Structure 1
């Protein structure tokens, strides 16, 4: 299988760097083809701007969505964007590995999403009608591919529990897993989280690697998070709200899980 690791940490010798290196070696030893987008090492440009379309004329005010659409359709995207899109298209599974900074992915990875998910590639795909509101949330260009988050944090696991001060981890990651991954069609696997990373010695590192290996070995037989699909009948169109008979009485993130 072809596996892409999108990785964000500025220090190659960090725990994240060591875990990423372990994952690459483990996957290759299992016979997989692995590509890594090491965003800091690549000096990835995170900001969306007019230079993302090499044919931008400058005659009109810069419209990010419109220029993204124009560049994708005309084949005039900047080379770095096109290269990452090609990696995504070739991948059977994508792993996003990053430290949880301020309750989200690092800014450089968010910038990767904003630029690589171009209009016509990651969004703005499919027909809009009375029964179908675009190919998204379970459909789209990434349909049939798997994705998984691997994230590290300094806090204790109870801090991220249902009654923990930081809120449940599944809620914190919902915007990423549902909005960034499920939206363009990925089957999203449960995340792998490593806590109290500042307390990692050699023994614990070996334990983390074992946990990572088990998840990697089961990429294709782990059940995805059961997010509801937008166009499968659970949502009214065009309001895109759950129909009254679907998960009655439930609200918030949990209502969008088909439990």
Structure 2
């Protein structure tokens, strides 16, 4: 299978980067093909512009968007790895979704007003970290809200079947042994899925 990993964390020494490395190694150990798009390293422009809309409507995506859409088109599985900031996606990843998962590419409306999910047949995985303890996110409904906005609001909206959504809380506060256990969970989950 072809895997596209969209990674969004600016610090190459972050725990998110360790998750990225673990994910890639687990996939490659299973013989999977993996392409990583590190949005910060790419300096991806997250700002959706009026000119982007004009290009979409004319059927000509801007070159940077077309490049990413080609990666998405060729992927069987799309994995998002990112920290939860302000209870949402980092701006660079939100902008990636805004620009790349565009109308006419990822979804469209039919004449009867229904949504045509243009990425149907693909699978999705999301791996998140956050500083808040998991128990607080669970108790306040934040974990469920994040599942709805990401799994349903992004993946399912365009036809991508969510396979897994892993959350790791208290990451800055826990010790290295706890983080190693989190990486073990990532490796085990990825290995079990493919």
Q: What is the TM-score when the length of structure 2 is the normalising length?
A: 0.92
Contact 1:128 1:134 in 2 (8 A): no
Structure 2: distance between partners of 1:15 and 1:202: 10
Match of residue 186 from structure 1: 160
Between 93-102 and 199-208, report the one with greater CA deviation: 199-208
Please name the residue that 2:18 is paired with: 18
In structure 1, distance between residues paired with 2:146 and 2:19: 22
**Greater fraction of residues in helix:** 2
Alignment partner of 1:68 is 2:22: no
CA-atom RMSD, angstroms?
Answer: 1.7
Aligned pairs for 1:1-259 within 5 A:
1-52=1-52, 64=53, 66-70=54-58, 73=59, 76-124=60-108, 127-129=110-112, 133-135=114-116, 140-161=117-138, 164=139, 166-219=140-193
| 1:152-182 Cα distance to aligned partner (Å, 9 max, x none) | 0111111012xx2x42402233122111110
Partner of 1:55: none
Greater C-alpha radius of gyration: 1
Name stretches of at least 5 consecutive residues in structure 1 with no aligned partner: 53-63, 221-259
Scaled by the length of structure 1, what TM-score is found? 0.70
Q: Quick check: 2:124–2:164 contact (8 Å CA) kept in 1?
A: no
What's the CA shift for 1:141?
2.0
- Residue 198 of structure 1 and its aligned partner are, at CA, apart by 0.8
Between the aligned partners of 2:37 and 2:4, the Cα distance in structure 1 is: 7
What is aligned with 1:254? Answer: none
Runs of 4+ in 1 over 3 A off after TM superposition: none
- Provide closer, same or farther for how the CA distance between residues 67 and 51 of structure 1 changes in structure 2, counting only shifts above 3 A: closer
2: CA distance, partners of 1:172 / 1:46:
21
Between the aligned partners of 1:177 and 1:8, the Cα distance in structure 2 is 17
Deviation by residue 1:118-139 (Cα, 9 ceiling, x = unmatched): 22101225x322xx7131xxxx
Higher relative contact order (CA 8 A, sep 6+): 2
The aligned length equals 194
SS in 1 for 2:158: coil
Larger strand proportion of the pair: 2
1:216 match: secondary structure:
helix
* CA deviation vs aligned residue, 1:36-65 (integer Å, no higher than 9, x gap): 11011110100011453xxxxxxxxxxx3x
Secondary structure class of the residue paired with 2:11: coil
